[in-house]
Chains A and B, each alone.
Chain A
Amino acid sequence: MRVPSTIAILFFWLVAFGGNTELHAQASFYQGQSVRVVVGSSTGGGYDLWARLMALHLGKYIPGNPAIVVQNMPGAGGVVAANYIYAVAKPDGLTLGAFNPGLYFDQLVGRPEVKFDWSKFTWIGSPEQNYVLHYIRSDTPFKTIEDLRNAKEPPRCGSTGTGTTGHYLPRLLDETLGVKTTIVSGYQGGAEIDLAVERNEIVCWSPLIATYFGREPYKRWHKSGFVRVVVQTGAKRDERLRDVPTLNELMQQHKTPDSAKRLAKVILTAATLGRPISAPPGLPSERTKILRAAYAKTLKDPELLAEAAKRGWEVEPLTGEELQSMAKDVVGQPREVIERIKWVMGN
Chain B
Amino acid sequence: MLEAMIIGFWKTLAWPAFGYMLLGIAIGFWVGLLPGIGGLSTLALMLPFSYSIKEPVAAFAFLLGMLAVTGTTGDLTSILFGIPGEGSSAALILDGYPMSKNGEAGRALGAAIMSSLVGSVIGALSLAVSIPIVRPLVLLFGSPELFIIAIMGITFIGTLAGPSLIKGLLSGGIGLMLAAIGVDPQTGSLRYTFGSLYLWDRLDLVPVVVGMFAIPEIVDLAVRGTSIASSKQERLTGVLEGVKDTFRHWWLVVRCSLIGVYFGILPVLGANVAQWISYAHAVSGLKDKSRAGKGAVEGVLGPGCANNSTRGGDLIPTIAFGIPGSGSMALLLGAMLIVGLNPGPEMLKSRLDVTFSMVWVLIISNIIVAGLCFLILNHLAALTFVRGSLLIPFLMFLVYIGSFTSNNDLLDIVVTLIFGFIGYFMIKFGWPRPPLVLGLTLGKIAENYLWISTAAYGAKWLLFPTVLLLIAITIFTVAYPTIKERMGKAKYERPEDAM
| Interface residues of A, Cβ cutoff 8 Å to B | 42-44, 48, 52, 71-77, 79-80, 83, 112-113, 156, 160-163, 182-189, 191-192, 194-196, 198-199, 201-202, 215-217, 220, 307, 310-312, 345-347
**Chain B min CB distance to A47 (Å):** 13
A27 to B139, CA, bound (A): 59
Interface string of B19-48 (1 = CB under 8 A from A): 000000000000000000000110111011
Residues of B within 8 A of A187 (CB): 448, 452
A194 to B321, CA, bound (A): 10
Q: Is the CB of B330 within 8 A of A73?
A: no
Residues of A within 8 A of B267 (CB): 188, 191-192, 195
Task: Find the A residue at minimum CB distance from B409.
Answer: A75
Residues of B within 8 A of A217 (CB): 321-322, 344
A113 to B343, CA, bound (A): 41
Q: Is the CB of B187 within 8 A of A112?
A: no
**Chain A min CB distance to B397 (Å):** 21
Interface magnitude class on chain B: 35 or more
Task: Find the A residue at minimum CB distance from B138.
Answer: A195
Task: Find the A residue at minimum CB distance from B448.
Answer: A186
Cβ-neighbour of A43 out of B45, B195, B452 (below 8 A): B45
Known A-B contacts A185-B451, A198-B139; the reply to A191 vs B323 at CB < 8 A is yes
| Interface residues of B, Cβ cutoff 8 Å to A | 40-41, 43-45, 47-48, 51, 138-139, 142-143, 183, 185-189, 195, 197-198, 200-201, 267-268, 317, 321-324, 327, 330-331, 333, 337-338, 342-344, 407-409, 448-449, 451-452, 455-457
Residues of A within 8 A of B407 (CB): 42, 74-75
Cβ-neighbour of A191 out of B186, B324, B337 (below 8 A): B324
**Chain B min CB distance to A62 (Å):** 22
Residues of B within 8 A of A192 (CB): 267-268, 323
Known A-B contacts A112-B195, A198-B139, A201-B143; the reply to A75 vs B188 at CB < 8 A is no
Residues of B within 8 A of A112 (CB): 195
Cβ-neighbour of A160 out of B43, B45, B185, B321 (below 8 A): B185
Known A-B contacts A112-B195, A192-B268; the reply to A77 vs B452 at CB < 8 A is no
Output the residue of A188, A199, A215, A312 with the most chain B CB within 10 A: A188
Cβ-neighbour of A182 out of B139, B188, B268, B455 (below 8 A): B455
* Beyond known contacts A80-B198, A186-B185: 7 more, CB 8 A cutoff: A42-B44, A74-B407, A75-B197, A80-B197, A163-B188, A187-B448, A188-B268
**Chain B min CB distance to A247 (Å):** 23
Residues of B within 8 A of A83 (CB): 197
Q: Is the CB of A73 within 8 A of B321?
A: no
Q: Is the CB of A202 within 8 A of B456?
A: yes
Residues of A within 8 A of B43 (CB): 44
Task: Find the A residue at minimum CB distance from B339.
Answer: A310
Residues of A within 8 A of B338 (CB): 310-311
Q: Is the CB of A113 within 8 A of B195?
A: yes
Q: Is the CB of A215 within 8 A of B337?
A: yes
Cβ-neighbour of B455 out of A42, A162, A184, A307 (below 8 A): A184
Q: Is the CB of A75 within 8 A of B48?
A: no
A161 to B415, CA, bound (A): 26
Q: Is the CB of B455 within 8 A of A183?
A: yes
**Chain A min CB distance to B225 (Å):** 40
| 28 A/B residue pairs, CB under 8 Å, sorted by A | A42-B44, A44-B330, A75-B197, A75-B198, A76-B197, A76-B200, A79-B200, A80-B197, A80-B198, A112-B195, A161-B183, A161-B185, A185-B185, A185-B451, A185-B452, A186-B186, A191-B323, A194-B321, A194-B323, A195-B267, A201-B142, A201-B143, A202-B456, A216-B337, A220-B344, A311-B338, A346-B187, A346-B188
**Chain A min CB distance to B458 (Å):** 10
